[in-house]
């Protein structure tokens, strides 16, 4: 923690509250001193949102200066931090400090200035840590089982994917040898079984705390796993440490605003100058409805991603709950805003969400993804995945990194990247209409998309349509055979997904089908009887 934050935590007003709180209020160094060797530490965080960055930084500093605590297990339901300004899980990605990590996803992008991969990526790729990743529905729901002292989490989501023990059981490194996921049979059907194990420490982020440790989230755009982690850790007899922006007086907040009771909180660390999220400080647009939201959101630059987003947007229906995943697919709502589809009261005709529980408003992209702009409602992480797994999101738009001849989709591990799947598996499993969005090739692709046509200036060095995916994140072919409908949208072609494989249905104006499309697919595809041109209006700034 920096000096300003530490001093702020010890103001006279806070000192008065500290006495009543029986020592709950302390600085970050004092709080993380409670963590012992070999313990299991769970943390909130969704990219930069809800990340207890001061606590993770203090824990790393304690290890750096004193060599303790050692050999910790870290449990992150979602990728925590951006590995740059809000380092999150990258703070603790240190050999010796981190022995094992279990996470719903990992932060992977290169540093914008140095080009370096995050420290956690280096640990995983060099096999220096026991790394596991589970679908995010499992990481959220597993906490509920720990909280109720249940034996484990049972689900059919993820069968046949990387989470299935027959396909790795979520192991991401050779050091990861324990079987944390089991295949079981119940009533003649197969399930994945995630046995519970104890959590010793919970690190959570909230907005404010009172003297008794009651936590509210008035300046946070997400709830995510905060309550779930606190309940799970306390059920194990562990210690919960909360990072907040401010302390409040007795009765200052209505009880309905308190989302984590003080009975679940052992220590409170006040960090008044912490950012809300990556590049965001105190923007009310992320906390609730704001007038003129459409005019406030960013505009996408012209290029292949914008073409894809415009084509994906044409699959979105009014009145249907639409969920968007991280990556190219999340740009669709921003393009709808830019192109006037959400003007006036039109935004209220749609219901957009993500796996992180924000309902209504505008889905953001990049580092601001997860928290919608001008949202109308908010669920916490376990409840949102109840909704997703229960079929609450009939339409889903998702990105893809690889797609193969058998209709298997990969977003979890490819090339030098190991991001995990996040909510992808649950979202794909629960939807009835799917769109998978991404460029035909990657790593160097440049194209002119501004004059009603597409012109490839430089082809990408990596093709995404491969004979066999590196990692199975979802078995789309089986989903289609079971009744799902699916499209694959790229900047130069659109495909229907059938039980017999891909069918080319649309091509971009200016594209040579053989040279620019089929030559970059590593398996046979059929052509529809009447392949049409993609609408020229997609190809503009």
Structure tokens at 18: 């500290």
- CA-CA-CA-CA torsion for 79, 82, 350, 449, nearest 10 degrees? -120
Among candidate residues 247, 239, 240, the one with its CA nearest the CA of residue 271: 247
54 in Cβ contact with 86 (< 8 Å) = no
How many CB atoms within 10 Å of residue 168? 18
Strand partners, 437: 399, 489
Classified as helix, coil or strand, 149 is coil
Decide: 328 and 308 in contact? Cβ < 8 Å.
Answer: yes
Q: Is 312 helix (H, G, I), strand (E, B) or coil?
A: helix
Q: Are 436 and 368 in contact (CB under 8 A)?
A: no
Residues classed as catalytic? 355
Residue 160 sits at the vertex; the CA angle it makes with 45 and 500, to the nearest 5 degrees, is 115
Report how far residue 106's alpha carbon sits from residue 142's, in angstroms, rounded to the nearest whole number. Answer: 18
CB 28 within 8 A of CB 77: no
Q: How far apart are CA 174 and CA 163, in angstroms?
A: 15
Q: Confirm if 10 and 27 have CB atoms less than 8 A apart.
A: yes
- Phi, psi (deg, nearest 5) at residue 276: -70, -40
377 bridge partner residues: 359
Q: Which of 435, 436, 534 is nearest to 492 (CA)?
A: 534
The residues pairing with 74 across neighbouring beta strands, listed in sequence order, are 41, 101
């Amino acid at each position: 923690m920096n000096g300003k934050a530490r001093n702020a935590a010890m103001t006279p007003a806070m000192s008065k509250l500290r006495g009543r709180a029986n020592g709950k209020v302390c600085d970050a160094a004092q709080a993380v001193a409670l963590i012992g060797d070999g313990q299991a530490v769970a943390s909130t965080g969704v990219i930069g949102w809800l990340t207890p960055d001061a606590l993770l930084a203090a824990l790393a500093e304690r290890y750096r200066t004193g060599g303790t605590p050692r050999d910790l297990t870290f449990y992150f339901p979602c990728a925590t931090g951006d590995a740059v300004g809000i380092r999150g899980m990258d703070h603790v990605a240190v050999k010796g400090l981190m022995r094992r990590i279990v996470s719903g996803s990992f932060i992977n992008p290169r540093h914008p200035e140095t080009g370096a991969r995050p420290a956690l990526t280096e640990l995983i790729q060099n096999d220096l840590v026991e790394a596991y990743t589970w679908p995010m529905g499992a990481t959220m729901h597993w906490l509920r089982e720990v909280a109720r002292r249940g034996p484990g989490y049972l689900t059919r989501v993820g069968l046949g994917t990387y989470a299935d023990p027959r396909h790795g059981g979520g192991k991401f490194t050779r050091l990861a040898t324990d079987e944390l996921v089991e295949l079981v049979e119940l009533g003649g059907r197969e399930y994945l079984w995630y046995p519970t194990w104890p959590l010793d420490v919970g690190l959570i982020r909230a907005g404010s705390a009172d003297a008794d440790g009651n936590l509210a989230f008035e300046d946070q755009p997400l709830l995510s796993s905060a309550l779930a982690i606190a309940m799970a850790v306390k059920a194990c007899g562990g210690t919960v440490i909360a990072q907040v922006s401010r302390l409040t007086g007795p009765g200052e907040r209505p009880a309905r605003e308190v989302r984590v009771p003080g009975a679940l909180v052992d220590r409170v660390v006040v960090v008044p100058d912490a950012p809300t999220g990556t590049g965001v400080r105190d923007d009310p647009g992320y906390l609730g409805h704001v007038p003129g939201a459409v005019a406030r959101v960013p505009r996408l630059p012209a290029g292949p991603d914008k073409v894809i987003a415009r084509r994906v947007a044409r699959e979105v229906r009014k009145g249907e709950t639409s969920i968007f995943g991280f990556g190219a697919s999340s740009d669709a709502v921003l393009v709808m805003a830019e192109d006037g589809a959400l003007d006036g009261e039109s935004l209220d005709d749609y219901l957009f969400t993500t796996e992180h529980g924000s309902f209504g408003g505008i889905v953001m992209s990049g580092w601001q993804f997860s928290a919608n702009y001008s949202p109308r409602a908010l669920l916490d992480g376990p409840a949102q995945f109840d909704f997703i797994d229960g079929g609450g999101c009939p339409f889903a738009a998702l990105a893809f990194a690889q797609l193969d001849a058998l209709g298997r989709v990969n977003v979890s591990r490819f090339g030098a990247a190991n991001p995990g799947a996040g909510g992808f598996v649950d979202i794909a499993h629960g939807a009835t209409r799917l769109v998978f969005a991404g460029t035909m090739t990657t790593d160097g692709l440049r194209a002119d998309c501004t004059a009603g046509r597409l012109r490839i200036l430089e082809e990408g060095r990596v093709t995404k349509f491969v004979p066999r995916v590196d990692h199975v994140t979802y078995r789309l072919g089986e989903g289609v055979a079971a009744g799902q409908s699916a499209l694959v949208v790229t900047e130069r072609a659109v495909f229907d997904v059938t039980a017999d494989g891909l069918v080319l249905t649309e091509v971009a104006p200016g594209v040579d089908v053989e040279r620019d499309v089929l030559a970059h697919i590593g398996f046979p595809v059929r052509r529809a009887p009447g392949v049409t041109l993609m609408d020229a209006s997609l190809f503009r700034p």
